């Protein structure tokens, strides 16, 4: 996989030739995935607020710190990891099956015969588009999740919106938002890299395409969770 990454990064030197492909992939990744992602992170934020309130009332007999804890969890973990796992299921599977089909139908070999670098043509545009699209989606998902948390806190917990923002500002800073975007960039790299790797190494036949798609989703999900842990441990040194 590192070998594929190295060749793909070399393809960035000529990425201007593939500008139209990058735009097409950004539309596929960011625009077409936006509704399902924003809906899911909003409901995840609602659950976070309600569960935090329930447990705080049991432990400290009050839920005044719910805005701070929920905002902290959303920015540091929830927004980025939920978005990335949803993209893995939708975008990663689509990329893996598409590239695997190209491998089975010998379209990749045809590119090589025409003197076209398949890493530059297939992988590099998807990596760049995925990184940019994931960062954009996570940034918007974080904002939507915070506003959803504010609305739920106001309606269900009787926490005034102004008080919500005051409590949130005590717990979180712009640094948390920036670190979530760094995570988004890493996750955006993992998804297409894993998908294209399994697509390029797919076995022949429909069963080979199916196995490549399944393996890419499982592997990318595992790598995202592991990298999330490693990045969180690293970022903890800056708090």
Is residue 51 in a domain? yes
Tracing tokens 């695997």 back to the chain, one arrives at: 100
**111-135 tens-digit pLDDT:** 788 877 788 788 888 888 999 999 9
pLDDT at 81: 93
| pLDDT of amino acid 238 | 82
Containing structural domain, residue 218:
2-233
In a domain, 239, yes or no: no
Q: Are 4 and 200 in contact (CB under 8 A)?
A: yes
Instruction: Decide if pLDDT at 11 tops 70.
Output: no
C-alpha 202/C-alpha 100 separation (Å) is 6
Q: How many residues would you count in the chain? A: 239
CA distance 90 to 94: 6
pLDDT of 115 reads 79
Alpha carbon 130 to chain centroid distance?
A: 9
Q: Strand, helix or coil at 103?
A: helix
Give the C-alpha separation, 143 to 69, whole Å.
15
Mean pLDDT, the chain, whole residue set:
86
Q: Is position 35 within any domain?
A: yes
pTM beyond 0.75: yes
Position 104 scores a pLDDT of: 83
**What total number of domains does the chain contain?**
1
Other beta carbons within 10 angstroms of residue 173's beta carbon come to: 12
> For residue 144, is it within any domain?
yes
Q: Is residue 238 part of a domain?
A: no
Over residues 63-75, the pLDDT tens digits come to: 777 788 888 888 8
């Amino acid at each position: 996989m590192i070998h594929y990454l190295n060749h793909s990064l070399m393809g960035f030197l000529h990425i201007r030739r593939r500008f139209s492909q990058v735009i097409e992939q950004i539309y596929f990744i960011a625009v077409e995935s936006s509704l399902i992602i924003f809906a899911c992170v909003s409901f995840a934020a609602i659950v976070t607020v309600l569960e935090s309130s329930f447990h705080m009332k049991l432990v400290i007999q009050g839920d005044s710190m719910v805005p701070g804890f929920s905002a902290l969890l959303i920015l540091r973990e929830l927004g980025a990891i939920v978005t990335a796992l949803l993209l893995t299921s939708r975008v990663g599977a689509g990329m893996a099956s598409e590239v695997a089909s190209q491998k089975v139908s010998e379209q990749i070999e045809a590119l090589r015969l025409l003197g076209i670098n398949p890493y530059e043509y297939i992988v590099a545009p998807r990596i760049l588009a995925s990184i940019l699209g994931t960062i954009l989606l996570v940034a918007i998902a974080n904002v939507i999740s915070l506003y959803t948390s504010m609305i739920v806190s106001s309606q269900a917990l009787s926490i005034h919106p102004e008080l919500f923002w005051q409590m949130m500002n005590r717990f979180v800073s712009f640094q948390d938002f920036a670190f979530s975007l760094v995570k988004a960039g890493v996750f955006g790299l993992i998804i297409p890299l894993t998908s294209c790797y399994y697509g390029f190494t797919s076995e022949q036949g429909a069963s080979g395409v199916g196995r490549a798609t399944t393996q890419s989703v499982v592997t990318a999900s595992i790598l995202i969770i592991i990298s999330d842990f490693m990045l969180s441990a690293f970022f903890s040194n800056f708090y």
